[in-house]
Amino acid sequence: MAVPDLSTQTTPGPLRLSGTARTALRPAPGAQVVGGFWHERRRINAEASIPQGPGLLETAGNLHNLRLAAGTAEGSFRGDYPFVDSDVYKWLEAASWRLAGIGPGEGGPAVVRLADDVARIIDLVAGAQQPDGYLNTWFQLTKGGARYTDLSWGHELYCAGHLIQAAVAHHRATGQTSLLTIAGRFADHLVSAFGPGPDRGIDGIDGHPEIETALVELFRETGERRYLELAGYFLDRRGHGLLGGGAYWQDRVPLRRAAAVEGHAVRQLYLLAGAADLAAETGDRELHAANERLWEEMAAGKTYLTGGLGAHHDKESFGDPFELPTERAYCETCAAVASVQWNWRMALLTGRARYSDLVERTLFNGFLSGVGLDGRSWLYVNPLQVRDGHTDPGGDKSARRTRWFRCACCPPNAMRLLASLPHYLSSTDGEGLQLHQYASGRFSGEAGGPPVVVNVNTDYPWRGRIEITVEEAPEDREWTLSLRIPHWCRSHSVRLGGQRLPAPAEAGWVRLRRTWRTGEQVVLELDLTPRLTEADPRVDAVRGCVAIECGPLVYCLEEADHQGGGLDRVVLDRTAPLSAEHRPDLLGGVTVITASGRRRPEGGAADWWPYRTAEPVADPAAGSRAAEDEPAADKPAADRAAADDAGQRLELTAVPYYAWANREDGGMRVWLPTR
Amino acid sequence: MAVPDLSTQTTPGPLRLSGTARTALRPAPGAQVVGGFWHERRRINAEASIPQGPGLLETAGNLHNLRLAAGTAEGSFRGDYPFVDSDVYKWLEAASWRLAGIGPGEGGPAVVRLADDVARIIDLVAGAQQPDGYLNTWFQLTKGGARYTDLSWGHELYCAGHLIQAAVAHHRATGQTSLLTIAGRFADHLVSAFGPGPDRGIDGIDGHPEIETALVELFRETGERRYLELAGYFLDRRGHGLLGGGAYWQDRVPLRRAAAVEGHAVRQLYLLAGAADLAAETGDRELHAANERLWEEMAAGKTYLTGGLGAHHDKESFGDPFELPTERAYCETCAAVASVQWNWRMALLTGRARYSDLVERTLFNGFLSGVGLDGRSWLYVNPLQVRDGHTDPGGDKSARRTRWFRCACCPPNAMRLLASLPHYLSSTDGEGLQLHQYASGRFSGEAGGPPVVVNVNTDYPWRGRIEITVEEAPEDREWTLSLRIPHWCRSHSVRLGGQRLPAPAEAGWVRLRRTWRTGEQVVLELDLTPRLTEADPRVDAVRGCVAIECGPLVYCLEEADHQGGGLDRVVLDRTAPLSAEHRPDLLGGVTVITASGRRRPEGGAADWWPYRTAEPVADPAAGSRAAEDEPAADKPAADRAAADDAGQRLELTAVPYYAWANREDGGMRVWLPTR
């Protein structure tokens, strides 16, 4: 079944800078993803994921709560969390991006039904809103309306933020003002209820950031500076103990002075997205610098190979630097979404390629793993290892996909990102077009006249060849086509009309400046040779291990491909070559990487105790590196080496990490020991 | 200041088998610790830890709650948890063991004051008890007395269990019946309120086991079989979904059929202690086998080198097999206490040395680390690593010692174990005496006549020499002195009157059977050469690392001994010898182990990303082990090797793990990379 319009849809984005914003780059005026990898994921999002929303929100009670608050239903509040309204808003945002540019009654029955669902649910939201603009069913229904009495945990402004984002999306995508009016009334209520000055009531901030970035976007959509100012107030009152001063809430130290990301990962990342928005709109250099500083700290020591963020299940928080356990990696899907949002803002703010490097890595790995191949099953957490003998606790934090969660924040978050994905792929700087991510589609930029437009055709990430054809270009003017050379890429080439161009990457960009002619074709070739990757030695969790990567994709072993399991006993042979084969039949079509290794015999320990005396190392005087690192060839060590080398040789089949947990349950590993 | 009587006190134990119990060994009739390592720890426990109890329990509100329940005070319930009564009971148990054998008015002012405190607090407990025997201040004061309405979380029977254990201790130690009467009334109420049969009210079990082992001990103390039967009922109703079937509560599967320890570690371990008690008293082979099976599963894959148990902060639970992260090791001090209790029951039940091996390891490492050297500061969690750059969250789960916790379960638990420690050191089988642990003291066993008695003199664990002098022995009868040869010990010798005896360890025991004469001296020598230890390769967290051990002690590096910190960049040189030096001035007197290593330079990663492509390995055909494991000597790899080998050489100073976190804050590591 074809999706009406999806492949020709120009999706407006969740980020539209104001005219006075000071950024290196600006979102491109229009982008379409018309085929290839991301088109297929967006098709599933449009056909399978988004249409399920209304039914799931009904079953889970979210819509019931809105009716209760409106007085049009009877019963009691349903759901286990105070922020259940936000699930509705995130879904509305996703559905709105899906409807972008489709007129009333257009797009076929499924799209018409979706538009009807959106209108119906917006009516429910309108009904639940209180006369002064306030809206939060949890507080209205269970707290006797005692607003703002639990800012640390209540999520009232967090929900308001998601409402605002949904309203902006709905307005941009459909031109309708129904939801924007609701959001504006709530925002105006917040402006009057919070903030500095003697006539304001509450000097307070929300435990869960989100309102900051939403208010900046509402300012962009409406031009009303009071929203921008309130966002600035919320940002700068944080870190002064209004929430008790805990790191969990990023309230220990003001963000401008913070040296490290800390606490609850999603909260930290939404806060940083808001801080980047504020830096963009105000030109605040201190805030700009804080964003870059915190990003560097996070990237260098707190980011998983998959782009996943948040090491701890306990409090869903960042760990210490280099504390990146694989088996209990939390890596919430929402944190991946938030990371993409923040990184994209940073890419625009600075123009630096590294932010889009992390966007790419996150999209293809730690984000996409959260979405089942069927679009109807989800992961809340995205660990890098599931052990042999894993006892699954079930529930939200399970390593098995689930249709919906008690805490259902992730699925609609993933839906809204996929629905607005074209927005994150390209930018303009007024001098041309920057391609940050490679997807088949149509991308346009500005260069002082009518838009410059290119068509991209590629099988990326399965093939490294990216064909870029100029579709519209001024005949009389030079402009620059900038191509990001991914951080992982060790070799690339650029051809124009078959001729190889000198095209060194400078700070991650190849910049091709010329007077382009319509029909000219640039072919960028990125080396997709599969590779082994190792970690900084301070990442204790993966010492002595390598991961298999190919292009932007992180790979993993799954028990489903390894009869007999025993993945925790697998050793990869670093001397054997890796080979790649595309398998259209497997997991929706993936390139499989084959490696060679062996499986250690079971029962490594001599008896009941899993620790043993390390054999002494002989002949320190010899001093060679091998002698330092290897047990000497004395009798027991030699025996042990022989025993270690024993074990069944086997072919290892690695599949893209994003596709894991879509077959039968079992073990999984990203990082593989090499000895 | 000398402790009155402490060194001549014969402490009765928390475990006294009934006459019909079927076990391989029985607790020894009397044991005194008169000097050395454990005497010093017990002295601090008696002088510093236990006397603080009443004041801390007053400040924290526990005693206030008892007065409230008695109607002799006004106010509201204090404390954050429903189980705060148990802190009082555990302290009463500790204080009771401390008072063992000391008559009224004896022992000096501090002891008299302690006895007064005990009597006063027992009066508070008596006042709070309800007419039918029920007692739980949380339910009485905050739940309108709605008993047993939240068995999953309410901890009513858990608190009852600790009351019973305290009462048994108080009765055994002092001969007084005041607390035993209270506990018996509560137990009788439970017998009437719970259990099978048409006239019983509730078919239910407590979310937190503890009542099981307590009821068995109450049966032993009183001879009343109804308590034993109720314990059996609670044990066997578990695993049938009465608590919802969750692994957290060990309610997923009946313990008799369980294949693995799971869920909340302390709950699992208390349950197993009760199961071992039941197996001992009933001769139930199935239960016996389940205990051994679960122990093997736990020991082989879920036990830290320190004996610590419980890998997850989240839900305080066991992890998957071999999931033993060092930096977030939970290893609750209470789990170590519970492990000692269970292991000691297993040692008696089976006679197998391995259980006492784990007792020793736990006592000297994962348990003792929970107790500050001053006896006034505590660790709730006992991780094996604190990272450079660690951001301490503060609070109960901090890696910094705290004077008391909001959830104050651990400190009084540690106090009661130290106060009753002599009980865990030796046993008898009717044919002689078994020394399970080595401490200076007086130990007696039975051999068919008057007690056989030995005096032990040793500086263990600082020296391996253990002198055992026969003090009382029948002149006409052979009996067996059994000496446990610790699992970690690679070489030992036994001398009698200066003559070396052939003394092979069989299944962990050296058994010396003869007609002993008074004054004869056996000298056991255990090899205390410092050693490096490595883990089963499935323990991903410590791959490529070794730990320093010496005798029963696990060692660690602390930042306090390594100027400039950077412990996460330290590499230990396996070729360099380890040396040991006793430092009476340091940390209360410890043997320090010195090793050699280097510190890698900072900034391992080339740029912002902590992962890099692993250099290819050349010449697979060569096939030598070195070639497989080492990067080939091509140019980049050689450069890298040179860079890796760079870094400042330094002397590494390792201190016993139990003594960590008693100086300034900073990093700490047990496991050290070797390359």
**pLDDT averaged over every residue in chain A:** 92
The region, left, alpha or beta by phi > 0 then psi within -120 to 50, assigned to residue B423 is alpha
Q: What is the rounded average pLDDT of the residues B264-285? A: 98
Put simply, the chain B residues between 367 and 396 with a CB less than 8 A from any chain A CB are 385, 387-391, 393
The band of A145, judged by pLDDT with boundaries at 50, 70 and 90, is confident
E strand residue ranges, B491-618: 492-496, 499-501, 509-514, 521-526, 531-535, 545-550, 553-558, 570-572, 579-583, 590-599, 611-613
Q: Per mean pLDDT, which range of B9-13, B155-159, B273-277, B463-467 is the poorest?
A: B9-13
Q: Which residues of A touch B671 (CB under 8 A)?
A: 540
Three-class secondary structure assignment of B102-142: CCCCCCCHHHHHHHHHHHHHHHHHHHHCCCCCCCCHHHHHH
A527 touches chain B (CB under 8 A): no
Tell me how far apart the alpha carbons of residues B299 and B321 are, in angstroms, rounded to a whole number. 10
B470 touches chain A (CB under 8 A): no
Q: What is the rounded average pLDDT of the residues B605-620? A: 74
Query: A435 CA to chain B: closest CA distance, Å?
Result: 22
The band of B200, judged by pLDDT with boundaries at 50, 70 and 90, is confident
Query: A83 CA to chain B: closest CA distance, Å?
Result: 22
What pLDDT is stored for residue B618 in this prediction? 53
Task: Give pLDDT tens digits for B284-323.
Answer: 999 999 999 999 999 999 999 999 999 999 999 999 999 9
Q: What is the rounded average pLDDT of the residues A374-397? A: 91
B465 touches chain A (CB under 8 A): no
Which chain A residue shows the shortest CA-CA distance from B533? A613
The band of A603, judged by pLDDT with boundaries at 50, 70 and 90, is low
Task: Give pLDDT tens digits for A173-217.
Answer: 999 999 999 999 999 999 999 987 667 789 999 999 999 999 999
A609 touches chain B (CB under 8 A): yes
Structure tokens at A306: 């998959």
Interface test with chain A among B608, B624, B674, by most A beta carbons within 10 Å: B608
Give alpha helix (H) positions in B393-483: 410-419
Instruction: Name the residue with higher pLDDT: B530 or A604.
Output: B530
Q: Which residues of B touch A300 (CB under 8 A)?
A: 605, 608-610
Strands B385-386 and B452-458: unpaired
Does the distance separating the beta carbons of A625 and B641 come in below 8 Å? yes
Question: pTM for this one?
Answer: 0.94
Number of Cβ atoms within 10 Å of the Cβ of A120: 11
Q: Per mean pLDDT, which range of A138-142, A376-380, A627-631, B455-459 is the poorest?
A: A627-631
Interface test with chain A among B571, B625, B657, B670, by most A beta carbons within 10 Å: B625
Residues 6+ apart with CB under 8 A from B499: none
The band of A13, judged by pLDDT with boundaries at 50, 70 and 90, is confident
Q: What is the dihedral of CA B269, B271, B275, B280, to 10 degrees?
A: 70
Q: Which residues of B touch A262 (CB under 8 A)?
A: 391
What pLDDT is stored for residue A640 in this prediction? 45
User: Distances from the Cα of A318 to the Cαs of A325, A356, B331, B383, in angstroms?
Assistant: 11, 22, 21, 17
**A91 near A412, Cβ under 8 Å?**
yes
Q: Which residues of B touch A296 (CB under 8 A)?
A: 608
**A221 near A228, Cβ under 8 Å?**
no
Does the distance separating the beta carbons of B314 and A387 come in below 8 Å? no
Task: Give pLDDT tens digits for B49-101.
Answer: 999 999 999 999 999 999 999 999 999 999 999 999 999 999 999 999 999 98
What pLDDT is stored for residue B598 in this prediction? 96
The band of A12, judged by pLDDT with boundaries at 50, 70 and 90, is confident
By the 10 Å C-beta count (0-12 exposed, 13-18 middle, 19+ buried), A537 is classed as buried
The region, left, alpha or beta by phi > 0 then psi within -120 to 50, assigned to residue B620 is alpha
What pLDDT is stored for residue B606 in this prediction? 57
What pLDDT is stored for residue A645 in this prediction? 54
Q: Per mean pLDDT, which range of A522-536, B37-51, B137-151, B623-637 is the poorest?
A: B623-637
Residue B580 has pLDDT above 80, yes or no: yes
Does the distance separating the beta carbons of B312 and A312 come in below 8 Å? no
**pLDDT averaged over every residue in chain B:** 92
**B432 near B482, Cβ under 8 Å?**
yes
Residue A639 has pLDDT above 60, yes or no: no
DSSP state string for A622-665: G--HHHHHSPPSSHHHHHHHHHHH-SEEEEEEEEEGGGTTSSS-
B321 touches chain A (CB under 8 A): yes
The band of B29, judged by pLDDT with boundaries at 50, 70 and 90, is confident
**A332 near A380, Cβ under 8 Å?**
yes
The band of A8, judged by pLDDT with boundaries at 50, 70 and 90, is low
Put simply, the chain B residues between 324 and 363 with a CB less than 8 A from any chain A CB are 325-328, 354, 357
What pLDDT is stored for residue B523 in this prediction? 98
Nearest CA-CA partner of B388 in A308, A260, A383 = A260
User: Distances from the Cα of A117 to the Cαs of A54, A62, A92, A99, A374, in angstroms?
Assistant: 7, 14, 9, 12, 22
Task: Give Cα A158 distance to the centre of its chain.
Answer: 19
Number of Cβ atoms within 10 Å of the Cβ of A649: 11
User: Distances from the Cα of B510 to the Cαs of A59, B430, B433, B470, in angstroms?
Assistant: 68, 17, 12, 17
Tell me how far apart the alpha carbons of residues B203 and B628 are, in angstroms, rounded to a whole number. 61
Q: What percent of chain A has pLDDT over 70?
A: 93
A614 touches chain B (CB under 8 A): yes
Domains and CATH numbers, chain A: 1-20+33-237 (no CATH), 427-526 (2.60.40.1180), 531-603+635-673 (no CATH)
Give backbone dihedrals phi and psi of B647, rounded to 5 degrees, phi first.
110, 155
Q: Which residues of A touch B620 (CB under 8 A)?
A: 575-576
Residue B645 has pLDDT above 80, yes or no: no
Task: Give pLDDT tens digits for A98-128.
Answer: 999 898 899 999 999 999 999 999 999 999 9
**B672 near B547, Cβ under 8 Å?**
yes
Residue B166 has pLDDT above 70, yes or no: yes
What pLDDT is stored for residue A620 in this prediction? 43
The band of A6, judged by pLDDT with boundaries at 50, 70 and 90, is low
Q: Which residues of B touch A539 (CB under 8 A)?
A: 610
Task: Give pLDDT tens digits for B327-376.
Answer: 999 999 999 999 999 999 999 999 999 999 999 999 999 999 999 999 99
Does the distance separating the beta carbons of A675 and B628 come in below 8 Å? yes
Q: Per mean pLDDT, which range of A397-401, A439-443, A617-621, B204-208 is the poorest?
A: A617-621
Instruction: Name the residue with higher pLDDT: B378 or B29.
Output: B378
What pLDDT is stored for residue A258 in this prediction? 98
**B269 near B335, Cβ under 8 Å?**
yes
Q: What is the rounded average pLDDT of the residues A278-297? A: 98
Residue carrying the six token digits 């009157």: B497
Put simply, the chain B residues between 214 and 233 with a CB less than 8 A from any chain A CB are none
